[in-house]
Structure 1
Amino acid sequence: MRAQNGAQPFQHRCRVYYEDTDAGGIVYYVNYLKFMERARTERLRSLGFAQSTLAGENLLFVVHSAEARYMAPAKLDDELNVSAEVMELNRASLRFRQQVRRASDDALLCEGQFLIACVRADSLKPRAIPEALRKAFATDPGLFPAGD
């Protein structure tokens, strides 16, 4: 399922801490993946679905594949806006497009795509995304990117 609209994507705001950086005060590349993971988790939470509750219902979302491109560095104390847009909603997976931008100047620092699989917590086998969650993703105007 694909959709198009002009709504703004979900944004999660975070700050770069000392622990996120290397000795030069630059964000270590893998930490952008952590920032994006947090944005996806907060997106679920904003729709009323906590990861801890889903796990109790024998459901996990796991990263199947990730692609990231780095354009410019984030630095210690930068405030970041991390987007989480659903590009595709399938029976047992979601494809997110995400960007990390510096809040002060909206500079694009990193962007990527992530295929997220829905699996059973007890066996890690694929399972269908529950209908209530599918409806929340399908009807929320902020989830599908404009122009894709």
Structure 2
Amino acid sequence: MDIKIYYEDTDCGGVVYYANFLKYFERARTEYLADHGLSVAELQKQGTLFLVTHAELFYRSSAHYGETLEINTKVTPSRKTSLIFTHTIQEQQTHRVVVEGSATLVTVDSTGKVRRVPPLVLQALPNINSTD
């Protein structure tokens, strides 16, 4: 997934504001699921929601106004009730690593009760191994 950096994404020095990378991670997760045939909106209608329980970001270099960033996302092994998404963000032209990180998402029902990741989700995502 690509993200073009606009002025609104940056601080007064033209550097991407650090918290925006969490938004980029969220967009990348949604697109990753869509690329694998899963609609977050449809899952919500069916009673499955995702809540972030942990996020880590490692800033490797700055990104600037006018650059285009490429976000690579994958899902790593998870517990029965959660998915771990890992992200690498690189500047598109030079492939310079800008940010690396991950987010753990737990699945809950519409009342907020933790539930197992639905089989439909596990079947759609490559390389998911449910562990305890």
What TM-score results when the alignment is normalised by the length of structure 2? 0.91
Query: Which residue of the partner structure matches residue 47 of structure 2?
Result: 58
Aligned residues: 129
Contact 1:97–1:112 (Cα < 8 Å) also in 2: yes
Report the equivalent of 2:89. Answer: 100
Equivalent in the alignment of 2:63:
74
Which ranges in structure 2 are unaligned for 5 or more consecutive residues?
none
For residue 126 of structure 1, the aligned residue among 94, 108, 114 is: 114
Q: CA RMSD in A?
A: 1.5
DSSP 3-state at the match of 2:77: strand
Please tell me whether the aligned partners of residues 38 and 124 of structure 2 are also in contact (alpha carbons under 8 angstroms): no
What is the alpha-carbon distance in structure 1 between the residues aligned to residue 59 and residue 73 of structure 2?
A: 17
Whether 2:7 is the aligned partner of 1:18: answer yes
The residue identity in structure 2 corresponding to 1:46 is D
Structure 1 runs (4+) greater than 3 angstroms displaced? none
Percentage of identical aligned residues:
33
Cα contact 1:88–1:96 (8 A) shared by 2:
no
* Structure 1 residue 20: Cα displacement: 0.7
Distance in 2 of aligned mates of 1:99 and 1:114: 12
The unaligned stretches of length 5 or more in structure 1 are 1-11
